[in-house]
């Protein structure tokens, strides 16, 4: 992010009520609670098992660079509905522009110490969306890779090498698994 590209986040109360805005980097330096969303696209494979589209954050990101995470996560702008923010960022990060049917899941609050002395403290809206097929065009400033992971592969990787994932991913993944169907009926 260049100095002329100042992004702001919406500061919120623990109940999610807006309390103002702050520059994004400052909010992460101070650990202020702010509004966010975590979106996960998933599909059922031919065996009826869930697969999840994960992205690997660009190495150049100001925090959590090079780590795997959910399909898309970011912050709504002031007065921007969360679903609109999710659609906007899905396009900006992964080039996905087609209409999608989002399922709004739970909200959870987390606080995590990050690299570079930053703190992620978010009031995080979980969003799931089942898709059959999507084409991606990765924005290299945001994403270095993306691929479909089976539920079992994610669980194994979280158990064996959790450091390859963002601080928030395991919680998002648990919420997504609780709100999406595990197996198609045969």
Q: Which residues are annotated as a binding site for Mn(2+)?
A: 28, 34, 75, 120, 122
Give the separation between CA 173 and CA 168, rounded to whole angstroms: 9
- Nearest C-alpha neighbor of 72 from the set 139, 161, 5: 139
Q: E-assigned strands of 15-71?
A: 18-23, 34-44, 50-57, 68-69
Is 73 noted as a catalytic residue in this protein? Answer: yes
Identify the active-site residue in 73, 129, 146, 177.
Answer: 73
Residue 171 and residue 126 in contact, taking contact as beta carbons nearer than 8 Å: no
Identify the active-site residue in 122, 129, 146, 177.
Answer: 122
Token pair listed for 13: 């109360």
- Nearest C-alpha neighbor of 57 from the set 157, 135, 154, 167: 167
Q: Please, where are the H alpha helices in the chain?
A: 24-30, 82-94, 151-160, 169-179
Q: Which residues are annotated as a binding site?
A: 28, 34, 75, 93, 120, 122
- Nearest C-alpha neighbor of 166 from the set 127, 124, 115: 115
Q: Which residues are annotated as a binding site for Mg(2+)?
A: 93
Active site residues per annotation: 73, 122
């Amino acid at each position: 992010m260049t100095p002329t590209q100042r992004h702001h986040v919406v500061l919120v109360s623990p109940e999610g009520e807006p309390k103002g805005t702050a520059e994004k980097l400052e909010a992460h330096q101070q650990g202020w609670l702010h509004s966010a969303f975590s979106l996960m696209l998933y599909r059922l494979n031919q065996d009826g098992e869930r697969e999840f589209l994960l992205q690997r954050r660009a190495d150049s990101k100001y925090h959590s660079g090079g780590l795997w995470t959910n399909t898309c996560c970011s912050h709504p702008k002031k007065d921007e509905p969360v679903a609109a923010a999710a659609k906007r960022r899905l396009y900006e990060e992964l080039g996905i522009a087609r209409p999608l049917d989002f399922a709004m899941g739970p909200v959870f609050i987390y606080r995590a110490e990050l690299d570079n002395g930053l703190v992620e403290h978010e009031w995080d809206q979980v969003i799931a969306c089942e898709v059959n097929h999507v084409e991606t065009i990765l924005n290299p400033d945001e994403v270095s890779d993306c691929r479909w992971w089976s539920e079992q592969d994610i669980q194994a990787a979280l158990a064996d090498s959790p450091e390859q994932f963002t601080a928030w991913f395991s919680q998002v993944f648990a919420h997504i698994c609780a709100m999406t169907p595990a197996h198609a009926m045969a």
